[in-house]
Amino acid sequence: MQINETIEALFDDNETIHHLLNYPVLRPSKIQGPIIISIGNNVVRKNIADRLNVEFKNAFHPSAIISKHAIIDKGTVVMQGAIIQSCSQIGKHCIINTGASVDHECILEDYVHISPHSTLCGNVTIGEGTWIGAGT
């Protein structure tokens, strides 16, 4: 997601939710894309991504610091205050949560969740579906 890009709706399969944060909540059967999947559970996020035949986009908070030399695949969310340094490679549908730091030349495979205020020093590889706990 680029700065100033608009969100049209949110999607949830909970039939009791109709609005959230002033956005309409639609059912998954109405998904057309492009979308992001903002679910913290890596397995659930992967299962949903595998089921959908839509375009996925990224969402970067404006305060995130992302090197122009980082490579970030589709569906990844980078939250407020997160840092992604030079030559890092971030896979599909990853979450780099609030204040997390991914240093130089790290490789995050698909469906990784880096929790708030976690630090990955340089040249670290994180396997598919891994969850790194908060503050580690």
Express each pLDDT in 18-69 by its tens digit. Answer: 888 888 888 777 777 788 888 889 999 999 899 888 899 999 999 999 999 9
pLDDT of 64-91, one tens digit each? 999 999 999 999 999 999 999 999 999 9
Using CA atoms, how far apart are residues 26 and 42, in angstroms rounded to an integer? 22
H-helix segments, the chain? 42-51
105 Cα distance to chain centroid: 19
Q: Centre a 10 Å sphere on the Cβ of residue 25 and count the other Cβ atoms it contains.
A: 17
Using CA atoms, how far apart are residues 105 and 56, in angstroms rounded to an integer? 24
Fold of 59-132: UDP N-Acetylglucosamine Acyltransferase; domain 1 (2.160.10)
Q: Catalytic site residues?
A: 104
pTM of the model: 0.87
Q: Where are the domains of the chain?
A: 10-51, 59-132
